[in-house]
Amino acid sequence: MTDLIKLRGVNKYYGTYHALRDIDLTIRAGEFFSLLGPSGCGKTTLLRVIAGFEGVSAGTVMISDRDMANVPPNQRPTNMVFQSYAIFPHLTVAENVAFGLRKRSDIAKSARAGLVEEALEMVALGGYGKRAAHALSGGQRQRVALARALILKPKVLLLDEPLSALDKKMREHMQVELIRLQRHVGITFILVTHDQEEALVMSDRIAVMFAGEIGQMDDPETLYRRPKSRRVAEFIGKMNFLPGQVTALSAAGEASSGAPLAGHAPGTVPPNRTNRLLTDLMDKIAPGTEANADTDTAEEAAASPEVMTVDIAGLGAAQISVDQAPEGAKLGEVAVGIRPETLAILFEGEMPKRHECPGVVDEVVYYGDMTYYDVRIKDVPQPLTIAMKNLIGRPVLEVGAACRVAWDDRALVLF
Amino acid sequence: MSVGTSLTQDQSRAIRLLGVPFVYAVLLLAVPLGAIVLFSFWAQDFMAVDTTFTLDNYREIADSPIYAMLLQRSLMVSGIVTAVTVVLAYPVAYFISFHVTPSKKSLWLFLITIPFWTSYLIRVFLWKVILGYNGVINSGLIQVGLIEEPLTFILYNVNAVIITLAHAFAPFAILPIFVVLEKIDRSLLEASQDLGESRLSTFFRVTLPLSMPGVVGAVLIVFIPTVGDYVTPELMGGAGGKLIANMIQTQFLQLNNAPLGAALAIVAMLCVTAIALVFVFLNRRWLRGRR
């Protein structure tokens, strides 16, 4: 994939307010790229900088290797879907979609009506051309805005929180449709959103922004599994943070030949016995891998150059690979992050796990498909949030119930 | 409590609520209008009014060319005043809406109302001072040597009436246009530019069409009262600048022919109504596409 948009050292000030700080960003052709962040983080400003509605105070914006410094929005190869959709109220649906064609001398006048109908059909609004724009529902307006932008075949389609005005059902539906549409037209999409789930579902890559800076830029899986900073981890999904202490750094060989991993009791899991819950836990950690965790870990350790031993408050020692920690690992205090769904509550009669500890249920939040437990564990400063799938036959525990909590070294992230 | 009594209660409440405005409307709007309509079908018999039904007044208006001429001139002057006022008001409203920072907008609107702080008569006399034979404009132009004789076409004719009225009605045109411009979603203008239009073509394709209801409103607000204005032509129009309203006044007060004056008023009113209806219809058309 070739680089389509290059931002280098982009800064934007509004008076004394520093809205964008040294943004370096490369977006490839055909990519579905998301700018994710809380409100006021500068993601919309960045999108408007790319569209040309805002100038930059410093830095360069290049689209297709062309400097956009003095190029007004109407001459950029970008089109935008506005948050309010900005459907022209005095025009019909077809007139809205055809709006941008007037300045396109490369498209024959006779071909325009056909193109409009084609564009409307693409967004499942075929036959709506004659309707008045104000008579449309929110979802339909959004489709008109999409058709209006895509009919011009821009190099980049900019989407400014396009789904935020829709209800949940409609939003989920449009997410899938947008992905399908993007694959179909092959245009680079840049999506601005504050909804982390939306960004994870839709994007090839995500840039997480905080206070005018890019906190992390990665594909959704890396972003979720290896957040580089605590605020990224907190913003995307839920994460438990525990105080910990790195007590040892060792080469990969030493670790595999050394003492068995802490808390692991070899032989207690009969290899051939089908244990639904174990499979469930393993699935959560690494989708696709079957129950045999030991060889998996050994392989990972062998491939990684170094292994760290971390002593986690209340949970005990864990052995983790250095790529679960920030670069330049060293001994000393760290914060250990664990996602709620990588923890598990062991129900009555279930096999012991590599690591487990007793706890007491402090809070239960029932979501239907999932139950979120806050579990208090001795010596852990605050209750751990644990997400459990409500599988068949699995009870929902009550507040105050004693339980066993299982966890895995590979799910830990150090900060 | 039965349904019957509660309905009666509602009805009595409705009567009490509507009663006062109804009486008010009848006394102040319907009765005077009815009186004029009635008078227009009567005849003046020297000092007394002959109350037998007659169409003589309308016949006279149709037969004497002076009335048609005056009415035509009135409509033309009002039309020009309206066009000048609205065309000049639009940029002012546009500037306040798009280029004045939001916190200063009310200050600007306040400044626009300053001319209203003095009496209309005083403003008319000020225009006399400005436009007069030895007025500000003439003496100024002579001083700088652009002209040798004072200009005479700027006072005591139709031009003077147009200038004075256009100035007086400017705020009435600015405000409705300003209000619709304020309501235009700015992202629509960005969307237009994003779709390839320049700022200028965006104005003609988006801003102007969306502001038409305000323009039509301004046209009506300026046009309707200027047709009936008689103070300005009386003071600024000279002999050749008299309008239909002056004739109505003359009929009522000088010639003591109230029935003919009333008939003239009715004819003028019908003309204005016809023209206003055209604009209301146009406004409907513009409004149709909007919420």
Q: At residue A232, what is the residue type? A: V
Question: In this structure, are A219 and A90 located in the same domain?
Answer: yes
| Domain CATH number, residue A250 | 2.40.50.100
Measured CA distances, B226 to A153, B77, B81, B167, B243 (Å): 53, 8, 8, 12, 10
Does the pLDDT value for residue A396 go beyond 50?
Answer: yes
Among B190, B289, B290, the residue with its CB nearest the CB of A53 is: B190
Distances (CA, A) of A171 to A98, A142, A149, A175: 26, 11, 20, 6
B291 touches chain A (CB under 8 A): yes
Q: Do B197 and A74 touch (CB under 8 A)?
A: yes
Confidence (pLDDT) at A47: 94
What per-residue confidence (pLDDT) applies to B90? 97
Q: Of the residues A213, A235, A257, which one is the last residue of a structural domain?
A: A235
Asked if residue A301 and residue A212 are part of one domain, the reply reads: no
CA atoms of B274 and A381, how far apart (whole Å): 82
Q: Does residue A191 share a domain with residue A265?
A: no
Q: Supply the pLDDT for residue A138.
A: 86
Residue A75: its chain B contacts at CB < 8 A?
A: 196
Torsion of CA A324, A326, A331, A332, to 10 degrees: -100
Cβ <8 Å between B196 and A104? yes
> How high is the pLDDT of residue A22?
92
Q: What is the pLDDT of residues A225-237, one digit of tens each?
A: 889 888 899 899 8
Which residue is closest to B195 within chain A, CA to CA? A100
pLDDT of residue A284: 52
Residue of A51, A88, A152 lying closest to B188 (CB–CB) = A88
The CA distance from A246 to A356, in Å, is 20
Shortest CA gap A43–chain B (Å): 17
User: Is B198–A74 a contact, with Cβ atoms under 8 angstroms apart?
Assistant: yes
Q: In the block, which residue shows the tokens 């001319």?
A: B115
Using the Cβ of A134 and the Cβ atoms of chain B, whether some distance falls under 8 Å is answered with yes
Report which residue type is found at B29: L
Confirm if A116 and A168 have CB atoms less than 8 A apart.
Answer: no
Confidence of residue A265 (pLDDT cuts 50, 70, 90): very low
Q: Do A166 and A217 sit in the same domain of this protein?
A: yes
Same domain, A231 and A115: yes
Q: In this model, does residue A264 exceed pLDDT 80?
A: no
Task: For residues A74 and A165, state if they share a domain.
Answer: yes
As a whole number of angstroms, the distance between CA B245 and CA B4 comes to 54
A215 shares its domain with A254:
no
CB contact under 8 A, A90 and B290: yes
Residues in CB range of B285: below 8 A, 6 or more apart: none
Q: Where are the alpha helices (DSSP H) in A195-275?
A: 196-202, 220-225, 230-235, 252-257
Q: What is the per-residue pLDDT for B51?
A: 85
Report residues of chain B scoring pLDDT below 70.
1-7, 286-291
Which of B190, B197, B289 lies nearest to residue A90, judging by beta carbons? B289
Q: Tell me the chain B residues in contact with residue A115 when contact means C-beta distances shorter than 8 Å.
A: none
Q: What is the mean pLDDT of residues A323-346?
A: 84
Domain holding A390, by residue range, is 240-414
Shortest CB distance from A88 goes to which of B196, B206, B286? B206
Which residues does chain B have within 8 Å of residue A104's beta carbon, measured at their own beta carbons?
196
Between residues A47 and A286, which one has the greater pLDDT? Answer: A47
Please indicate whether, in this complex, the C-beta atoms of B193 and A82 are within 8 angstroms of each other: no
Q: ipTM score of the complex?
A: 0.78
Domain identity same for A29 and A126:
yes
Q: Distance of CA A126 to CAs A96, A122, A123, A181, Å?
A: 14, 8, 8, 15
| A88 and B CB contact within 8 Å | yes
Say whether both A321 and A216 belong to one domain: no
Element spanning A249, H or E: strand A240-251
Considering all CA atoms of chain B, what is the largest pairwise distance in Å, rounded to the nearest integer? 89
Confidence of residue A259 (pLDDT cuts 50, 70, 90): very low
- Neighbour tally for A100: CB within 10 Å: 22
Contact with chain B for residue A103, Cβ under 8 A: yes
Give contacts of A88 with chain B, Cβ < 8 Å. Answer: 188, 191-192, 206
The rounded distance, in Å, linking the Cα atoms of A200 and A105 is: 39
Between CA B66 and CA B60 the distance in angstroms is: 10
- Tell me the residue length of chain B: 291
> Are residue A11 and residue A132 in the same domain, yes or no?
yes
Q: What is the CATH number of the domain that holds A152?
A: 3.40.50.300
Q: Within an 8 Å CB–CB cutoff, is residue A360 touching chain B? A: no
First to last CA, chain B: 42
Task: Kindly tell me the burial class for residue A64, based on how many C-beta atoms sit within 10 Å of its own C-beta (0-12, 13-18, 19 or more).
Answer: middle
Is B210 in contact with A89 (Cβ distance < 8 A)?
yes
Query: Which of A220, A224, A226, A241 minimizes the C-alpha distance to A320?
Result: A226
Q: Is A132 within 8 Å of B288 when comparing Cβ atoms?
A: yes
- Tell whether A224 and A255 lie within a shared domain: no
Measure CA A319 to chain center: 27
Q: What is the pLDDT of residues A32-43, one digit of tens each?
A: 999 999 988 999
CA distance B210 to chain A (A): 7
Q: Which residue is it, tokens 């506005």?
A: A82
Picking from A74, A102, A105, A153 by the largest number of B CB atoms within 10 A of its own CB, the best residue to mutate is A74
The answer to whether B210 contacts A90, with C-beta atoms less than 8 Å apart, is yes
Helix, strand, or coil (residue A28): strand
Same domain, A380 and A265: yes
Residue A400 pLDDT greater than 50, yes or no:
yes
Domains of chain B in start order, with CATH, are: 62-288 (1.10.3720.10)
Token representation of residue B100 = 């004045």
Residue pLDDT, tens place only, A154-209: 999 999 998 888 888 888 888 998 899 899 888 999 999 999 999 999 999 999 99
The residue in chain A having the minimum alpha-carbon distance to the alpha carbon of residue B197 is A74
Q: Does A134 sit within 8 Å of B290, measured CB to CB? A: yes
Last residue of a domain, one of A235, A264, A288: A235
How much is the CA Rg of chain B, to the nearest whole Å? 24
**Is there a contact between B196 and A53 if contact means CB atoms under 8 Å apart?**
no
Q: Measured between CB atoms, which of A73, A86, A132 is closest to B187?
A: A86
Q: How many domains does chain A have?
A: 2
Q: What percent of chain A has pLDDT over 90?
A: 41
Residue that terminates a domain, selected from A216, A235, A254: A235
